Every structure is written in structure tokens, then in C-alpha cells.
């Protein structure tokens, strides 16, 4: 992989992959391949042909390792995307009482999501993605099962994998399904924050009121821990 292509991929990844961009920048194999490539070129110019051959070999070796590393990171990204979607679908299913209405369906999908998380953490990204996609498929029609009523209150959660913030909360399907509406929740709950001027500081257990939009009906409290 040439330097220009790699830098282009980095630019794309920094926009799309988010948490994985930093890891891609730390691709030591690509850096090593460039270093050996430059050494090979210098050795060739100096007529040191044995060194040229050795440096070229090392450059090719590290370039191959770099390709494998990028492939690994792409698998990680795809698995993470599927996992986040599956876990969000599980939370939505909880919000519309699917565990009570269709416990068998919910338990099967939830177990797949739990297994997908475990496989992701053990870097079994291919099977993690498969499990996540199966969970998503099982719950693909849950919006049809939901009523027009959504929770009026939301209890902020302590999630080590994806910390609740106004942006994340607004993105939940059972809230707004649109993260850009986060300020509506923030403005309605400033008085509940430790620092009303800092929307990034939101403590687990805080009960947020969700403003109604577009004539929707909201009632009850959504608390995944109950």
C-alpha cells in the first residue's frame, strides 16, 4: 500500500471510525515499511546493492504486516458498528416492553447481543458481527410492535462501553432517534445538572424529562436497570 493511499484511508477512517482512528495512526508496520523503503533507495543510490536487497525485503515484509493490520482494524470497525446497532435495538425493545410481550423473541435477541459483546472483546470480530446481525434481524420489526407512546422520563445509565450523554440519549429510537436534538433534552433539564452550563457533565441516576415533539405522547419512565 502506498503512502498516499494509506493517508487517504486515515482521513476517511478519522471521519467514520471515530474511536479507531487513533489506533490506525499507530500503525507501526506501515511506518517501518516506509523507513526501510527509504533506506533501500539510499542504499541503491550509494551502490550498496546487498543492503538494497535486504532493506527492500524488510520494506515488503512490513508492508504486508501493515495490510494485515488494516484488515484487522476494518473487521473491528464493522463488528463494532453492528454491535452498537444491536445493543441500541435491545434498549429500544426494552423501552416498548418487548421482554414482557414477547419474552422468547427478546431473550434470544438479547443473548445474541451479549454473546456478540463477549466475542468482540475477545477480538473474534467475524463471529461478533454475525451474532449482532442476527440480533438485529430478529428485532427488525419491533417498531411495528411499538405504540405511539414513548417514555416521558429517562434514567441516565452508567455504561462502560458507551457512556450516556445528551447526544447519545437523543439518538435512542425510543427518545428521538436523532442525536442532533440533544439540546432539547439539555435545555429542559439544566436545573438537574451539577453544573448547568456544562452539558458534558451528566451523572448516572439522573432522571431526565424528555420534551414532546411533533405531537407525540409521552408517559412513564424508561430505566433499563429495572
pLDDT in tens, the chain (226 residues): 444 554 445 444 444 444 455 555 567 888 888 888 888 888 888 888 888 888 888 888 888 888 888 888 888 888 999 999 999 889 888 877 788 878 899 999 999 999 999 999 999 999 999 999 999 999 987 765 555 567 888 888 876 566 788 998 998 888 888 889 999 999 999 998 888 888 888 888 889 999 888 767 777 776 655 5
Note the pLDDT of residue 15: 42
217: enclosing H helix or E strand? strand 217-218
Residues comprising the chain, all counted: 226
Q: What is the pTM of this model?
A: 0.53
> What is the number of other CB atoms lying within 10 angstroms of the CB of residue 83?
26
The pLDDT score that the predictor gives to residue 13 is 46
Positive or negative, the CA dihedral 86, 91, 96, 98 is: positive
pLDDT of residue 94: 85
Confidence at residue 223, expressed as pLDDT on a 0 to 100 scale: 62
The whole-number pLDDT of residue 128 equals: 96
- In the three-class reduction of DSSP (H, G, I as helix; E, B as strand; rest coil), residue 221 is classed as strand
Distance between terminal CA atoms of the chain? Answer: 51
- What would the grid cell of residue 93 be? 425493545
> What is the helix (H) or strand (E) element at residue 8, kind and residue range?
helix 3-16
Amino acid at each position: 500500500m502506498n503512502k498516499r493511499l494509506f493517508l487517504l484511508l486515515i482521513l476517511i477512517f478519522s471521519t467514520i471510525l471515530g474511536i479507531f482512528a487513533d489506533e490506525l495512526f499507530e500503525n507501526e508496520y506501515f511506518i517501518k515499511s516506509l523507513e526501510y523503503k527509504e533506506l533501500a533507495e539510499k542504499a541503491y543510490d550509494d551502490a550498496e546493492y546487498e543492503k538494497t536487497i535486504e532493506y527492500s525485503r524488510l520494506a515488503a515484509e512490513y508492508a504486508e504486516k501493515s495490510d494485515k493490520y488494516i484488515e484487522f482494524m476494518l473487521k473491528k470497525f464493522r463488528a463494532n458498528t453492528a454491535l452498537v446497532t444491536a445493543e441500541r435495538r435491545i434498549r429500544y425493545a426494552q423501552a416498548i416492553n418487548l421482554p414482557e410481550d414477547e419474552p422468547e423473541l427478546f431473550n434470544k435477541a438479547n443473548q445474541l447481543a451479549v454473546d456478540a459483546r463477549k466475542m468482540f472483546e475477545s477480538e473474534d470480530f467475524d463471529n461478533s458481527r454475525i451474532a449482532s446481525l442476527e440480533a438485529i434481524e430478529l428485532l427488525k420489526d419491533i417498531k411495528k410492535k411499538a405504540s405511539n407512546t414513548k417514555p416521558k422520563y429517562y434514567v441516565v445509565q452508567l455504561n462502560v462501553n458507551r457512556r450516556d450523554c445528551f447526544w447519545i440519549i437523543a439518538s435512542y429510537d425510543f427518545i428521538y432517534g436523532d442525536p442532533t436534538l440533544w439540546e432539547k433534552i439539555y435545555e429542559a433539564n439544566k436545573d438537574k445538572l451539577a453544573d448547568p452550563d456544562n452539558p458534558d457533565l451528566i451523572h448516572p441516576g439522573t432522571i431526565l424529562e424528555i420534551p414532546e415533539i411533533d405531537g407525540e405522547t409521552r408517559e412513564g419512565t424508561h430505566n433499563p436497570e429495572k
